[in-house]
Structure 1
């Protein structure tokens, strides 16, 4: 493809190595040109020929780059995104987009004035489990949805060695980490709530950041959405449980993309994005006689590549992007403390 977008990554930790570099390197619309890696040399081994910079300033000074990926610790997102925009680059920002809403508003305003794109990286909209749930919601089979529960849990009782996740700095804690995914999914499904209430907790020994959080989102229709994330869940619950006037939906978190990418599965592998067998969701409705009918939901194929198609379209195509400015600002209104 002609007129490829030349890309630079700000970091090459898990996010850069797993969620960004392989997708840019395998997309015909992008050219992965440069990566910031402060001390290690893993990027050079994985992508020979890619320019390696030891600091962000050098990356931003590279005039050949058109798109910068801000995949650094949460509290740096605003500062680095602003610097990239001022350097004349389009920007893709890892979740959370920023720590507070006011920072996001400033970034959108700056991008508009400079004629650039600043985009939120929300790959979980392309998880197989979420795509299956979204299809059912759009079908109307649940009727008027009254109550919805979205969970993202883990079991990690120890304190992570990653200081930026465990130190009480802006943007730290499980709600910014995993909650941002679920808030974005709730907004994608139901829109921005009219009001919300939040609860936080610290339950691991010596934890300085929240490791439990729940947000109760209220909508004018009467819909109540409960978003919950907990780092001390030994036995996983269903990730999605929705109750409507004509049906009930349950679906576990079954997307395999992160596991596959960590295991070295290539994007070209026929099994990429496919769920393991017998992981279908369950839809319960009533027949004409009032009997409960159970339907297994066919598995969708997860596909983070679609996000990169969206990024390309935003820069080279019609300018639209699947996570819009109102989505981001609405999400941060809920996330910020």
Structure 2
């Protein structure tokens, strides 16, 4: 068993990490540090015995814990990750990994110097909808892929008057997952074309439009993005809005011989929010609306979704640390995603890392 500790012990830890850590059966969760005095109820029971609460980060990092999982607010990710690496711990960092490409480069370089491993927690690489599309992209009968559209639109009107800095918007908080999915397939894009805005505040809140500023008290972070990744002649669109009444297909793939449509995003998050865990045989299963269809010229084909729980992220991480294989997200992939996001929120023209 690998001893694991948390920096941060709120909703993210108990909903998106603990169930899959327990299911992996490779880790002993021995302790955590969290700021403040609030005690969070654990929605999912710890199966490995009592968890110790440490009074400060230094005490946790001085313990026999081998792997640190950071689930604190994003602004503290870089600082805590650096402390953990300097203490000789392997590190998993919740999204977003940090604020800038330079911070990310520093963390990876420091990890190499201290002979430890670090990776961002990109659990959505194990989403059923993504895995289903990934498998279909390899099929020869659909022809050459020309366009891919990754939609994340829904209808949610709360939070219209949100304030924050340039790292608090939907690009760093949301697009990070779906950009990572594309980067895991195709690597570094040749170009990035983007449009971001705050729709909820402008249309249903105070009427202020998106402002690009570092001043938290005056900034209106974006809650809408429309990002196009260019790979030669291939165009990939990643889109998000929270004011769309009828959701479009989660994925649309246009190839020379076929069009693919996949409705509905992976259901693991929905089930976790409802208190449905991995011991339920229906955990993570698509609803009747989650269909995937390939439309050919003269017929269509229904495709069964591919399911793989987020447990696999932790199994892959365990293997990487113990056997020296690649971490679930490589250094280069993490840097590419950071470069895309930093480019967008800063309003720059895209420049490739390589």
Q: Secondary structure at the match of 2:138?
A: helix
Q: Distance in 2 between matches of 1:54 and 1:74?
A: 21
Q: Distance in 2 between matches of 1:192 and 1:182?
A: 14
1:119-268 to structure 2, matched below 5 A, reads: 119-159=119-159, 166-204=162-200, 205-206=205-206, 208-220=220-232, 222-268=233-279
- Aligned position for 2:22: 25
- Aligned position for 1:316: 322
- Aligned position for 1:79: 79
Q: Distance in 2 between matches of 1:140 and 1:95?
A: 34
Contact 2:96 2:173 in 1 (8 A): yes
1:5 aligns with 2:32: no
Q: Distance in 2 between matches of 1:254 and 1:217?
A: 21
Deviation at 1:278, TM superposition (A): 5.0
Q: Distance in 2 between matches of 1:198 and 1:272?
A: 35
Q: More deviation in 302-311 or 258-267?
A: 258-267
Q: Distance in 2 between matches of 1:236 and 1:28?
A: 37
Q: Once superposed, which parts of structure 1, at least 4 consecutive aligned residues long, lie more than 4 Å away?
A: 43-46
Structure 2: gaps spanning 5 or more residues: 209-219, 346-354
Give CA-to-partner distance per residue, 1:290-324, whole Å, 9 cap, x none.
x2x11111122241111111110111123312321
Q: Distance in 2 between matches of 1:255 and 1:216?
A: 22
Contact 1:9 1:35 in 2 (8 A): yes
Q: More deviation in 263-272 or 77-86?
A: 263-272
Give CA-to-partner distance per residue, 1:74-126, whole Å, 9 cap, x none.
22211111111011110001111112111111111000111000011111111
Contact 1:12 1:43 in 2 (8 A): no
Q: Distance in 1 between matches of 2:154 and 2:84?
A: 34
Q: More deviation in 97-106 or 37-46?
A: 37-46
Output the TM-score relative to the length of structure 1.
Answer: 0.90
Q: CA RMSD in A?
A: 2.0
| Equivalenced residues, count | 323
Q: Distance in 2 between matches of 1:181 and 1:251?
A: 18
Output the TM-score relative to the length of structure 2.
Answer: 0.86
Q: Secondary structure at the match of 1:209?
A: coil
